[in-house]
Amino acid sequence: MSQQEKTSSHVSFRDYKGKYKGLLAWILSTDHKRVGMLYLYSIITFFITGVCLGIAMKLELIAPGKTVMDPATYNAIFTLHGVIMIFLVVVPGLPAVFGNFMLPIMIGAKDVAFPKLNLLSWWVYIFGAIIALSSLFMAGGPPDTGWTFYAPYSFKTNTNMLPAVLGAFILGFSSILTGINFIVTIHRLRAPGMTWFKMPLFPWTLYGTSWIQILATPIVGITLLMIVGERLLNIGFFDPALGGDPILYQHLFWIYSHPAVYIMILPAMGAISEIIPTFANKSIFGYKAIVISTLAIAFVGYFVWGHHMFTSGMSGTALYTFSFLTFLVAIPSAIKVFNWVSTLHKASIQLETPFFWAASFLFVFMIGGLSGLALGALSVNVHLHDTAFVVAHFHFIVFGGVGFAFMGAIHYWFPKIWGRMYNARLATTGWIMFFIGFNTLYLPMFFLGISGMPRRYYDYVERFHGPNIVSTIGSWVLFIGLFVIIFNLIRSAKKGPIAPKNPWGGKTLEWTVDSPPTLENFEEIPVVEKGPYDYS
């Protein structure tokens, strides 16, 4: 391609000729960068599918009564939207794409510790995805239980919930394999001189995330197997008709799925911690405080699952313990925000698209996090639980937090991955539309929740009409913004101007290698003597 002028020792990983040709050269490659790209393309495909389902839901909700679909379709669509977005997009999300691509380079390694295992985890991911989505093409149709599969409804429905559950079970293995791989890579393959506290923050967050992945994922695995056992063999774990306990299911489900939120958000925080110092041309404020708060979030995040169940009928002691711990987990997130903003003090800021994404990440993440405080307070939670308020809250965290960080990261590392620059004007236009659309879409849902509109509602009473119209219009603006962004990135990957090694003036190791990197990243393993954000 464009890299011909370079000598043979500088062949980009994209042009490298291995044993296989064409598509096989990608899907059988153990190169961490190619695996990262495989994840990227699969995740983007699922993400666009999930977005289209979301747009369809919002369209149905633009008016009370039937608008474009019947309730059965609506229920299936919100279930699929949740399953696809959570299990196929956000949980693998940043670690699988940017973790795979950047982690080895950022710590000065040639690849992850177990390259074959890494490729296997992508294959397991695709296999799980196919199983999960196979229900679409089976008689009975896709599940209509919501992505939480709450018992006992999930045992009563006539739709195909088992394929989705089995798919999620298989996807868990992919997650665990990636986690093990990253932990070993970080422990064993750091470049000489890179002590723990000289490691960049993105690898740090991947480290925290990986531990959650390998410790929490087995629990959802067991839970999903118990569902299979109950549905196929009639063993009464969760269905009261068989002597089971539906609350047990909720506990097991959230023991995984709450830490999963931190699997999603920690790497997002890591990406933001890379983008901000680079564009501020300044070392990050309070490096150690950010590292410690990362580990604190990963740890305390295990013990707050009960806040998903404040109205389910747990004992009073359990309730206030979980409420208390939930408030505690807010503190390290606040510390991070303070440090990020302080980094901007006396900085020299390049106003580029990745920085706009990072700054707007701070804004939406604060709204998401602060609205979590209202949900953490017991008496207020009773009113707001299972309403549109909760939907708005977690979309601000998961779509606002993780989504904005992902967008920031893809623009930030775009020159490194594709070796070309994107069109900055189009990218910024896309960002503005996305940002406006996003807030128009989700802010009204806070008001809907406060005034009492329950979630997962196909139809609603007239007084909820106004905010729903605004919200639906927001979804269209967001969609157009997303289209502009994706169009720009695809076009620039092919036609953009050639990128230099270090277009933004970053200090971490990925900016010292070629754009795109060669097969083994480094000609010589670097020796690290300075901290990761040394701009002096």
Partner 1 sequence: MIEETTKNASTFVSQVDSTFVFIFGVSLFFLFAITIFMVYYIIRYRKSKNPVATQIEGNNTLEVIWTVIPTILVLIMFFYGWSGWKNQKEIPDDAMPIKAVARMWSFSFQYENGQITDTLIVPINQPINLDLIAQDVLHSMYIPAFRVKQDMVPGRQANIWFESEKEGEYEIFCAEYCGLRHSYMKSVVKVISQEAFEEWNKVDSTLLQSDNPEVAIRLAAKGIFRKYGCIACHTSDGSKLVGPSYKNILSRKRIVVTEDGNEVEVTPDLDYIKRSIYEPNAEVVKGYDKGLMISYKDQITDEEIDQLMLYFESISETETSNE
Which of positions 241-300 make contact with partner 1 (CB under 8 A)? 241, 245-247, 280-283, 285-289
Give the SS3 label for residue 480: helix
Tell which positions 185-214 bind partner 1, by CB under 8 A: none
How many chain residues bind partner 1 (CB under 8 A)?
A: 87
CB of 244 to partner 1, least distance (A): 9
Tell which positions 38-77 bind partner 1, by CB under 8 A: 71-72, 75
Tell which positions 78-137 bind partner 1, by CB under 8 A: none
* Dihedral pair phi/psi, residue 420, rounded to 5°: -135, 160
CB atoms within 10 A of CB 524: 6
Tell which positions 506-535 bind partner 1, by CB under 8 A: 535
**Which residue among 6, 320, 490, 527 contacts partner 1 (CB under 8 A)?**
320
**Which residue among 115, 141, 218, 452 contacts partner 1 (CB under 8 A)?**
452
CB of 209 to partner 1, least distance (A): 23
Instruction: Spell out where 158-282 has E strands.
Output: none
DSSP state of 397: I
Do 311 and 385 form a contact (C-beta atoms < 8 A)?
yes
Q: How far apart are CA 359 and CA 415, in angstroms?
A: 20
Pick 36 or 246: Cβ nearer partner 1? 246
Give me the DSSP letters along 131-169.
HHHHGGGSTT-S--STTTT-TTHHHH-SS-HHHHHHHHH
Span of 33-41, 170-178, 212-220, 450-458 interacting with partner 1 by CB under 8 A? 450-458
Pick 411 or 507: Cβ nearer partner 1? 507
Q: Look at residues 97, 94, 100 and name the one whose alpha carbon lies nearest to residue 32.
A: 100
Binding of residue 153 to partner 1 (CB under 8 A):
yes
Span of 45-53, 150-158, 251-259, 483-491 interacting with partner 1 by CB under 8 A? 150-158
CB of 414 to partner 1, least distance (A): 20
CB of 152 to partner 1, least distance (A): 5
Q: Look at residues 350, 192, 182 and name the one whose alpha carbon lies nearest to residue 280.
A: 350
Binding of residue 318 to partner 1 (CB under 8 A):
no
**Which residue among 160, 323, 471, 508 contacts partner 1 (CB under 8 A)?**
323
Pick 412 or 458: Cβ nearer partner 1? 458
CB of 83 to partner 1, least distance (A): 14
CB atoms within 10 A of CB 458: 20
DSSP state of 302: G
Cis before 497 (ω within 30): no
Binding of residue 502 to partner 1 (CB under 8 A):
no
CB of 348 to partner 1, least distance (A): 4
CB atoms within 10 A of CB 184: 15
Tell which positions 350-389 bind partner 1, by CB under 8 A: 350-351, 359, 362-363, 366-367, 370-371, 373-374, 376-383, 385-387
**Which residue among 114, 123, 338, 483 contacts partner 1 (CB under 8 A)?**
338
At position 310, the amino acid (one-letter code) is F
Residues near 11 by beta carbon (within 8 Å), at least 6 away in sequence: 3, 518, 519
| Torsion angle of the four alpha carbons 293, 376, 258, 356, in this order, in degrees rounded to the nearest 10 | -60
Taking phi over 0 as left and psi of -120 to 50 as alpha, with beta for the rest, 108 belongs to left
Binding of residue 331 to partner 1 (CB under 8 A):
yes
CB of 296 to partner 1, least distance (A): 10
CB of 300 to partner 1, least distance (A): 12
Pick 32 or 307: Cβ nearer partner 1? 307
Provide the token pair at 508. 């971490």
Q: How far apart are CA 401 and CA 368, in angstroms?
A: 8
Tell which positions 221-240 bind partner 1, by CB under 8 A: 240
**Which residue among 20, 197, 324, 487 contacts partner 1 (CB under 8 A)?**
324
CB of 490 to partner 1, least distance (A): 29
Tell which positions 6-35 bind partner 1, by CB under 8 A: none
Q: How far apart are CA 222 and CA 253, in angstroms?
A: 10
Total count of residues recorded for the chain = 536
CB of 155 to partner 1, least distance (A): 9
